[in-house]
Amino acid sequence: MSEEIEKEELNTKSEEEVEVTDETLTSEATEDAVEVLVPEDELEVLKKEKDELYDKHLRLAAEYDNFRKRTLREKEDFHKYAVTGLLEKMIPILDTLERGIESNEKAESIEPVKEGFVKVCALFKEVLSKEGLEAIDEKDCLVDFNLHMAVFQEENNDVYDGTVLEIFEKGYKLKDKVIKPAKVKVAKSDKEAPKESSEEESKKDKTVKVDFKA
């Protein structure tokens, strides 16, 4: 009876040792596979990602270079041909002037010459007006140093102080921008002009000062 028990214990120990040995071998083999395979797989993945990023970088660099060249070319063309539209509208005026010069050589009186000048001037004004040019030539208004350059002052108590009495040279605005202030004569008077509202005053730039005593 004791011998059978001892045999069973020996068999049990042998089976446990075999199981432990199998598990150990399997574990060692797995670790070896991890040590060998995982780094190679990671290297392939990293290499693939690097190639993709490099290709993407090259494409972006090429696209940016094309965009830069196209933008530069468009900018050059814009500056080169910016006045094309205006010149197209002024060509008929030039043609009219040339025809007028030819006709004047055969004219027997000065009247046709005067009429020609009037027509050309009207055409010229029409073209400039359509482009947004506006003359600053209003008289009997209060001087506005955003629009006027006061070059002369005259005593006149019949009007408010600072009234524009005379336009020496017209000024011009291109849409909302003053490109040439009008040169004017203004009144020096004892009559003070009515004060503007604070809202209207805020719209005017009063940093320009004119010293008539200088």
Query: How is the chain split into domains, by residue range?
Result: 88-130, 135-202
Asked if residues 133 and 149 have their Cβ atoms less than 8 Å apart, the reply is: no
Q: Which CATH number describes the domain made up of 135-202?
A: 2.30.22.10
Output the CA–CA distances (angstroms, integers) from residue 84 to 64, 76, 120, 131, 133, in the order listed: 30, 14, 20, 13, 17
- Quick one: tokens of 107? 């004219």
Q: CA torsion 198→204→207→213, rounded to 10°?
A: -90
pLDDT at residue 200, rounded to an integer = 53
Bridge partners, residue 178, by sequence: 173
Q: What is the pLDDT of residue 166?
A: 94
Are 132 and 176 in contact by the 8 Å Cβ rule? The answer is: no
Residue 164 CB partners (closer than 8 Å, separation 6+): 138, 139, 140, 141, 142, 143, 148, 184, 185, 186, 187
pLDDT tens sequence for the chain (214 residues): 555 555 555 555 555 544 545 455 455 555 554 454 446 677 888 888 888 888 888 899 889 989 999 999 888 888 888 878 888 888 888 888 888 888 777 777 888 788 888 888 888 899 889 889 999 999 999 999 999 999 999 999 999 999 999 999 999 999 889 999 999 999 998 888 887 654 455 555 443 333 333 3
Residue 111: per-residue pLDDT: 83
The pLDDT value recorded for residue 14 is 52
Q: Quick one: which of 102, 133, 131, 135 has its CA closest to 116?
A: 102
CA dist 33 and 38 (Å) reads 8
